[in-house]
Amino acid sequence: MATYTIKFSPDNIETAAEAGENLIEVAARAGLHINASCGGEGVCGRCRVELTEGRVDSRSGPGQFLSAEEYERGVRLACRCFVDGDAVITIPPESRADASVYASALAEAEVAVADLAPLVREVEVDLTPPSADDNVADYDRLRTHLADEPNLGMELEALRELPSALREGDFKACMTLFEEPGGARRAIGFRPRSKPESLYALAVDIGTTTVWARLVNLDSGDNGPAHGDLNGQISFGEDVISRIVFAGKGDGLARLKERVTDNINRLLDLIEADEPGCRERIALVVVAGNTTMSHLFTGVDPRSIRLAPYVPAAADWPVTRAADLGLNLKKSVPLLLYPSVSSYVGGDIVAGVLASEMYKKPELTLFIDVGTNGEIVVGNQDWMTCAACSAGPAFEGGGVKFGMRAAPGAIDQFYFEPAARRHRMGVIGEEKPIGICGSGLINIVAELFMAGVLDQQGKFVREAAPDLIRDGEDGQEYLLCPAGETGLDRDIVLTEIDVDNLIRAKGAMFSGYQTLLESVGLTMGDLEKVVIGGGFGKSLNLRNAITIGLLPEMPPEKFTYIGNSSLTGATLAALSGGMWAQAAAIKANMTNFELSETPGYMDYYMSSQFLPHTRSDLFPETMAALAKNKK
């Protein structure tokens, strides 16, 4: 097969590629992630690149996503381009999936574990050295010593360590013991007694967008170094549905599995660089991820998740070994994967609920993770109920004309000055703006609404900002940034369709809270606490999220943001077998609602399609402030 050289610009990275290879994959191999929101189906138009030199085999021409002029200029959809010769490809900023911002997105969650009693620990074994009269095998000798535990399991890898561990320490050794959640115990390692060393666990959060790993010291309970990276599966689709579709094609499942394994192995390398030698002493891995990520990580076919009646292959996971899943750790190291509740309420949410501590508090709490797939939990120490809510991609920049993920160049801050009828903006990375991220969209809509530039239906009020509102190709639009001040070659605008999409998304979440509360005979007014988990929470402006009706109107002190609650939950379970048992209890006791099957959800949804809501009694202060502004 012919091999060509593809050079990516402006990165100036060259890589060899074979004829017929897809451009997104060639870029991924070179460490460059191109947006492919739709999973390479050619239906989202987010992967625009420019053929600067040479040739590619482009399988779609001008049309919905490319004007004839753009096509003429060399603009192509990377997902439809296949290597057909040497080429120089320019990846514009808006088509990049940039990892840098995520590296700072982790809030330092407070990890507090009551009982530091991990499922792996070391125990001392003092054996009598063998003699001519007593020459039974090492393993038999050990079992005689542990006679009160006849069913103690033994990993082969541990058995391999046994003879030298015994002989280096005059038959006094340390045995690393793993207590399976079901109660069975097995030896997973041996070392000579001589030098005390800490035992570690690795806590991992596999998010659809990012993957995080943290070293946890099982002796002190302290958090070690943590590192995050963009989920390498992102070049095969941005959301879980496109990943599931990709998994169903050829060896898609194996490739997705390999990507996330590579992710974790790279994070392990970074952690080991911070803490040399720790890898050999990692004795447990705890992973939390949503249901789809859990399937893709274990290599279990996820296809039934997206087919009615939305049944995953597994919600609980058997204990496995990290090495069996491809992690570069000792072969005997066990891996625990958080249980899911349902196809769309996954182990990340169970971990988040554990981290939130709502399961042991009397206050009626709402726990949410905002995203394309939003998850909602309400309850307290006595009961919990949950639902997944298909909010659509607006929170992650999808379905929005200039939407993008929270990456450099994204408009995320926005302030409207009614007197001057103009706005100021903040951009991630202090670069020239190239788009709008989800939290930016919320801020823009909230500010424009409070200034009277948007009405309660989400329509522009032209006279409130006559210089900025104009007719665009998709109806009325608001000029956020003229072309000359952007990092693009065109104006950045907000359209009424964008606003509609956000209203639909926030309405889906809010009506979810209402439905869940109603299902247990309660109303919004009964809520005492709101806990926000997940990656999106950190950049959320609480006031603006209430203003648009995404969050319920409550005093600020009732809200808590707990950072990467999935990673925190994984950490807690690594530190304590009791916490892991608690996770299982949370999964088992949480009632899952299918919102689409729940009568009343649609009514709530319809009445939420308003800013902040048709029921203004739910947002009295917001309405009062609005009224005051109008005067």
Strand 475-481 relative to strand 320-321, pairing: unpaired
User: Binding pattern to a second copy, positions 498-537, x when CB under 8 A?
Assistant: ----------------------------------------
Give min distance, CB of 27 to a second copy, in A. Answer: 30
Indicate the DSSP class of residue 146. Answer: T
Candidates 242, 290, 342, 439: give the one binding a second copy (CB under 8 A): 342
Which lies closer to a second copy via its Cβ, residue 134 or residue 417?
Answer: 134
Give min distance, CB of 151 to a second copy, in A. Answer: 5
Asked if 299 interacts with a second copy (CB under 8 A), we say yes
User: Binding pattern to a second copy, positions 595-614, x when CB under 8 A?
Assistant: --x-----------------
Distances in whole angstroms, Cα of residue 133 to Cα of each of 111, 126, 129, 136, 374: 53, 19, 11, 9, 68
Return d(Cα 413, Cα 2) in angstroms, integer: 49
Reading the block at residue 615, the tokens are 């029921």
Return d(Cα 106, Cα 565) in angstroms, integer: 10
Candidates 43, 88, 146, 159: give the one binding a second copy (CB under 8 A): 159
Asked if 145 interacts with a second copy (CB under 8 A), we say no
Candidates 93, 153, 225, 326: give the one binding a second copy (CB under 8 A): 153
Give min distance, CB of 376 to a second copy, in A. Answer: 18
Return d(Cα 73, Cα 58) in angstroms, integer: 14
Return d(Cα 212, Cα 348) in angstroms, integer: 12
Torsion, CA 372, CA 373, CA 379, CA 381, rounded to 10: -110
Reading the block at residue 416, the tokens are 């409207």
Return d(Cα 335, Cα 180) in angstroms, integer: 10
Asked if 275 interacts with a second copy (CB under 8 A), we say no
Burial of 136 (0-12, 13-18, 19+ CB in 10 A): exposed
Asked if 192 interacts with a second copy (CB under 8 A), we say no
Strand order in the sheet with 223-230: 223-230, 210-217, 200-206, 282-289, 334-337, 320-321
Asked if 348 interacts with a second copy (CB under 8 A), we say no
Which lies closer to a second copy via its Cβ, residue 291 or residue 356?
Answer: 291
Buried (b) or exposed (e) across 490-511, using 16+ Cβ within 10 A? ebbbbbbbbbbbbbbbbbbbbb
Asked if 254 interacts with a second copy (CB under 8 A), we say no
Give min distance, CB of 78 to a second copy, in A. Answer: 32
Instruction: For 21-62, give the secondary structure using H, E and C.
Output: CEHHHHHHHCCCCECCCCCCCCCCCCCEEEEEEEEEEECCCC
Candidates 276, 309, 484, 556: give the one binding a second copy (CB under 8 A): 309
User: Binding pattern to a second copy, positions 75-114, x when CB under 8 A?
Assistant: ----------------------------------------
Stretch that binds a second copy, among 51-59, 83-91, 152-160, 233-241 (CB under 8 A): 152-160
Stretch that binds a second copy, among 158-166, 365-373, 413-421, 460-468 (CB under 8 A): 158-166
User: Binding pattern to a second copy, positions 402-421, x when CB under 8 A?
Assistant: --------------------
Considering only residues 363 through 382, tell me which ones interact with a second copy, judged by CB under 8 A: none
Asked if 308 interacts with a second copy (CB under 8 A), we say yes
The residues that touch a second copy, with contacts defined as CB under 8 A, are: 130-132, 134-141, 143, 151, 153-156, 159-160, 162-164, 167, 182, 184, 298-301, 303-304, 308-318, 320, 324-325, 331, 340, 342-343, 594, 597
